[in-house]
Amino acid sequence: MAAKLKKRALAEFSYVVTEEPPQPVKKLRLIHQATPPVISLNLSSSNSPQETIFLLCKLEESMPIDKEGAEGIYNELVEHLIGERDSIVRCKIISLFARLALVPGFNTQLLADDLLNRLNSETSHKVLSQMLVSAKTVSQMFSPSSPYIQRFMRAAFKNVSNSDHQVRKSCLQLIGCLASCEQQRKDTPASPDWPVSIQEVLTRYISDEDPRVRCSAFEAMACII
C-alpha cells in the first residue's frame, strides 16, 4: 500500500522539462549608403547657346540633393554666368539658382546676396524678370523677421515701375509673397523709398494697361487681405 501511495505521489509531482530550441543568432546587416555622384556641367565645352541650354536641361533632370554637390554646381554656374551674354542661357541659370536654394543645408544667404546684387545691375528685362521669380522662391527660405525679406521687398518696389510688363508682373508677385510673409498691415508703408502703403501701390497696378500685370496685382492684393 505504501508503495502505491509513493508511486502516486511521484506521478503527481513529476514534470517534464522541455528545452526550447536555441534562437538563431541575428546577423547584423551593414548597409552602405552610396555616395552621391559628382555632377560636373563642363559648360565651357559647349560651342553654342543651344548646347549650353541642353546641358542645363540635363542638369535640371538630375539636380544634386546634397549640400556639397549643390554648392559645387552653384559655383560652376556663377563662373559661367560671368561671361555669358545670351539672355536665354542666363535666364535658365538664374532659374536653377532657385532649385539649388531648396537643397537642405545650402547657403541661401550667399545666394540671396548674389541675386540682390544682380538685381541692381541687370539691364535685360527678360533676365531681370527671371531674377525676381527666383527671388520669390529664395525669399521663402528665410524667416519673416529676416532682414533679407525687407531687402527683397525694396528690390521689388524699385523695379515695379519698369516699362516691361514681365518685370512689373514678377515684382507684383514678389510683393504679394513678401507682404504675406511679413504679415504686414495693409496700411504699412511699402518701403523707405515708397512712403505709401503696400495696398496703395498694388491698387495703382490694378488698372495697368497690360492684363497680365493687372492679374498679378489682384493676386498680390488677395495675399494681404
Pair (148, 93) in one structural domain: no
| Mean pLDDT taken over the chain | 83
Task: Kindly state the DSSP code that residue 63 receives in the 8-state scheme.
Answer: -
Whether the per-residue pLDDT at 6 is higher than 60: the answer is no
Report whether pLDDT(138) > 50. yes
| Together in a domain, 137 and 220 | yes
My answer on whether 100 and 144 are in the same domain is no
Looking at the fold, whether 81 and 151 belong to one and the same domain comes out as no
Q: Which residue has the higher pLDDT, 214 or 187?
A: 214
pLDDT in tens, 84-133: 899 999 999 999 999 999 999 999 999 999 999 999 989 999 999 999 99
- Considering the domain boundaries, does residue 194 fall inside one? yes
Q: Is residue 92 part of a domain?
A: yes
- Indicate whether 202 belongs to any domain: yes
Residue at a domain's end among 91, 106, 121: 106
Q: Assess whether 181 and 138 both reside in one domain.
A: yes
Q: How many domains, in total, are found in the chain?
A: 2
The answer to whether 198 touches 184, Cβ cutoff 8 Å, is yes
Looking up cell 549650353, which residue turns up? 52
Specify if 86 maps to a domain: yes
Domain containing 168 equals: 131-224
Give the H/E segment covering residue 189. strand 189-191
The DSSP letter of residue 48 is S
Query: Domain check: are 163 and 219 in the same one?
Result: yes
Residue 111 lies in a domain: no
pLDDT above 70: residue 187: no
Beta strands in the chain (DSSP E): 189-191, 194-197
Instruction: Return the higher-pLDDT residue of 201 and 188.
Output: 201
Residues 85 and 142 in one domain: no
pLDDT band at 160 (very low <50, low <70, confident <90, very high): very high
Domain check: are 99 and 156 in the same one? no
Q: Judge whether 115 lies within some domain.
A: no
Whole-number pLDDT of residue 43: 81
Task: Specify the pLDDT at position 108.
Answer: 94
pTM, entire model: 0.76
Which of 114, 132, 51 has its CA nearest to residue 88?
A: 51
